[in-house]
Amino acid sequence: MNYYKDKTSNVFAYDDGQLAQISRLSELENLIPPLETVFIDAKNSLHQAEVELTQTQVLLEQEKSKQVPVDIEDGEAWQKEHDERLLQIELSINIKLEVHNEALIAFNQSEHAYQPLKDEYDAILPVFFEIREHLKTLKKMTPKDIELHLNPPVSKVQLIAEAEQQKQSFLAEANNVIAPLQDAVDLDMATDEELSALQKWKKYRVLLNRVDTSTAPDIDWPEKP
């Protein structure tokens, strides 16, 4: 995970996959424009070649459909000129067909180089464009910054609260032990062992009550009996 923060210290995290996609996005934006120019030029050239080839083919069909005029004096001369025109048109078609084939090859090559990249770019989700723009306003965090973010130091207030909670837990435990021992003493039923234990636990409870939790975490807890 990669961590960044803004000017107000808000933290944002992006994984390697997201950053790789953003890097690829910028890479595609550099690769596509020159390929697109070549592709458009090749497409236009192919279209022009197709138009010229079609027009010449139509002209050939029109010329073929012509018949010797009934009122012409020299039909053979007309036929000869007609045949020459047909030959010239057919030669022109061959030339234009060759131009068309070359244009088609150039178009296919340019499309093969351009279209996959364009499709990849078009498939990128809008969120990656937003993240890229957002990253421009962020600063990458140092390892130390990241450690502090992931494992922030415990505040003094929190330390005191935890110490107070622990103190109350210790006191509750002492009270639970002292109560039955005190009952035995009050009923004049306590053994020497119980009397000794009672004194130790009462002393422990007194020391616990004297603990100043405001000094947390530097507290020297009394030893439990």
> pLDDT for 56-105, tens place per residue?
999 999 999 988 887 777 878 888 999 999 999 999 999 999 999 999 99
Q: Tell whether 161 is covered by a domain.
A: yes
Q: What are the tokens at 175?
A: 């009270």
Residues 82 and 137 in one domain: yes
Q: Tell whether 225 is covered by a domain.
A: no
Residues 109 and 166 in one domain: no
Q: What is the pLDDT of residue 76?
A: 85
Q: Tell whether 80 is covered by a domain.
A: yes
The string of pLDDT tens digits covering residues 97-154 is 999 999 999 999 999 999 999 999 999 999 999 999 999 999 999 999 999 888 888 8
Q: What is the pLDDT of residue 207?
A: 95
Residues 57 and 82 in one domain: yes
Above pLDDT 90, what percent of the chain?
Answer: 88
Q: What is the pLDDT of residue 225?
A: 92
In this structure, the number of other CB atoms found within 10 A of the CB of residue 101 comes to 12
Tell me which residue has tokens 């090859």.
Answer: 105
Domain ranges, residue 119: 2-150
Above pLDDT 70, what percent of the chain?
Answer: 100
Q: How many domains does the chain have?
A: 2
Residues 191 and 110 in one domain: no
What are the angstrom distances between the C-alpha of 66 and each of 55, 57, 69, 75, 83? 17, 15, 9, 13, 11
Q: What is the pLDDT of residue 222?
A: 95
Residues 145 and 160 in one domain: no
In this structure, the number of other CB atoms found within 10 A of the CB of residue 85 comes to 15
Residues 127 and 174 in one domain: no
Q: Report d(CA 170, CA 125) in Å as an integer.
A: 57
SS3 218: coil
Q: What is the pLDDT of residue 113?
A: 97
> Which domain-ending residue is among 110, 126, 150?
150
Q: What is the mean pLDDT of residues 31-47?
A: 97
Average pLDDT score, the chain: 94
Q: What is the mean pLDDT of residues 24-51?
A: 97
Residues 145 and 161 in one domain: no
Q: What are the tokens at 216?
A: 């947390």
Q: Tell whether 224 is covered by a domain.
A: no
Residues 107 and 160 in one domain: no
Is residue 175 scored above 90 in pLDDT? Answer: yes
pTM of the model: 0.64
Is residue 40 scored above 80 in pLDDT? Answer: yes
Q: Report d(CA 62, CA 104) in Å as an integer.
A: 26
Q: What is the pLDDT of residue 68?
A: 81
Q: Tell whether 63 is covered by a domain.
A: yes
Residues 146 and 160 in one domain: no
Q: Tell whether 194 is covered by a domain.
A: yes
Q: What is the pLDDT of residue 92?
A: 96
Q: What is the pLDDT of residue 90?
A: 95
Q: What is the pLDDT of residue 216?
A: 93
Tell me which residue has tokens 């962020």.
Answer: 138
Residues 142 and 168 in one domain: no
